[in-house]
């Protein structure tokens, strides 16, 4: 295939960014189809949880100390827990789907096998959740100690999911090998992740602006006629809830850019250390000569 993108090779920062968007451009239809078929049900659950949480949150704001406020508080707590579980599931399934899609793309030289991707996504779901929780806890603990240790841990651990899929390692080995992979390459990896994060963050903020502007306008802040009741009811406004859901959905979809970029970063570092792609190309060249 003329538009086939080789993942297993060394890349500079600019190449990682350009190939990330090139992959999305050339694979948009099959990738989007595969992604939505697997992730859409979890996204729907998450969006419902978002709406329910906003509704329960506005109910708590609008009530004083009473039995009703206690009930609303319990409802908000439950909806918050449901939302948290939904977020964890969506992130795990989303990350797994993207990485397994790339794995299938590499194995089949530009083609993908949906049934195999789906099977592997569900088969590795608990591993993704477990690794995600361990990585998040490690980074959170690191952030508590003067913030810098958390940033240091974030760089290698962000690649641990790619290690688990592309190197077929278990959760513990993926966690540990991530530090070996970024050894002597921490700064360039950090800069690459930072640039990708800024791009995705700015795009995500652009999608969140309509909801923020609408909420501010509906509260009368621009006109100086702010009403506390309007502030409470703003979270129940169907237009605001709809815009907020769209913003949340957009940010989740934009996260796929970060996952794809992380895969390119992994293969770049892996190639520098292990020359996996180089050896494969030499072997393929030898087979072609023999034929």
Q: What is the pLDDT of residue 238?
A: 82
Q: Is residue 9 in some structural domain?
A: no
Tens of pLDDT along 167-195? 999 999 999 999 999 999 999 999 999 99
- Residue 195 resides in a domain: yes
CB 12 within 8 A of CB 272: no
Would you list the DSSP string of 20-49? HHHHHHHTHHHHHHHHHHHHHHHHHHHHHH
8 Å CB contact between 254 and 204: yes
Rounded distance between C-alpha atoms, residue 287 and residue 178, angstroms: 33
The verdict on residue 132 lying in a domain is yes
Q: How far apart are CA 132 and CA 88, in angstroms?
A: 8
Domain count, the chain: 1
pLDDT, one tens digit per residue, over 21-79 is 999 999 999 999 999 999 999 999 998 888 888 777 766 655 444 445 565 677 778 88
3-class DSSP string for 97-138: HHHHHHHHHHHCCCCCCHHHHHHHHHHCHHHHHHHHHHHHHH
Task: Let me know: does 105 contact 28? Beta carbons within 8 Å.
Answer: no
105-132 pLDDT, tens digit per residue, is 999 999 999 999 999 999 999 999 999 9
Q: Does the residue 65 lie in any domain?
A: yes
DSSP string, 194-254: HHHHHHHHHHHHHHHHHHHHHHHHHTTTTTT---HHHHHHGGG-HHHHHHHHHHHHHHHHH
Q: What is the DSSP string of 58-109?
A: HHHHT--SSHHHHHHHHHHHHHHHHHHHHHHHHHHHHHHHHHHHHHHHHHTT
The answer to whether position 11 is within a domain reads no
Is residue 252 a part of any domain in this protein?
A: yes
Residue 74 lies in a domain: yes
Predicted confidence (pLDDT) per residue in 202-239, tens digit: 999 999 999 888 878 876 655 555 554 455 555 667 88
Q: Which pLDDT tens digit goes with each residue over 263-281?
A: 999 999 999 998 776 666 6
What is the domain range of residue 192?
19-278
Lowest-pLDDT range of 1-15, 24-38, 46-60, 247-261: 46-60
168 burial class (0-12, 13-18, 19+ CB within 10 angstroms)? exposed
Ramachandran category for residue 8: left, alpha or beta (phi over 0 → left; psi -120 to 50 → alpha): beta
In a domain, 289, yes or no: no
């Amino acid at each position: 295939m003329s538009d086939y993108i080789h993942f297993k090779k060394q890349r500079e920062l600019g190449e990682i960014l350009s190939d990330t968007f090139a992959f999305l451009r050339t694979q948009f239809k099959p990738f989007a189809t595969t992604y939505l078929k697997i992730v859409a049900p979890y996204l729907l659950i998450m969006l419902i949880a978002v709406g329910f949480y906003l509704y329960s949150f506005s109910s708590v704001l609008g009530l004083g100390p009473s039995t009703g406020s206690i009930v609303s508080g319990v409802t908000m707590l439950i909806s918050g827990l449901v939302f948290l579980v939904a977020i964890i599931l969506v992130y795990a399934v989303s990350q797994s789907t993207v990485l397994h899609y790339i794995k299938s793309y590499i194995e089949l030289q530009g083609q993908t096998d949906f049934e195999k991707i789906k099977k592997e996504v569900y088969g590795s779901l608990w591993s993704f959740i477990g690794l995600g929780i361990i990585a998040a806890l490690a980074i959170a603990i690191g952030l508590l100690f003067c913030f810098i240790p958390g940033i240091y841990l974030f760089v290698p651990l962000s690649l641990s999911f790619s290690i688990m899929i592309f190197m077929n390692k278990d959760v513990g080995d993926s966690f540990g090998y991530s530090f070996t992979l970024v050894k002597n390459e921490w700064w360039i990896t950090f800069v690459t992740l930072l640039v990708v994060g800024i791009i995705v963050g700015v795009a995500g903020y652009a999608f969140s602006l309509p909801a923020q502007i609408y909420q501010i306008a509906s509260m009368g802040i621009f006109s100086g006629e702010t009403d506390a009741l309007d502030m409470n009811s703003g979270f129940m406004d169907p237009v605001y809830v709809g815009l907020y859901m769209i913003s949340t959905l957009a940010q989740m979809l934009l996260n796929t850019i970060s996952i794809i970029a992380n895969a390119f970063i992994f293969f770049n570092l892996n190639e520098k250390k292990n020359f996996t792609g180089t050896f494969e190309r030499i072997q393929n060249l030898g087979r072609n000569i023999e034929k």
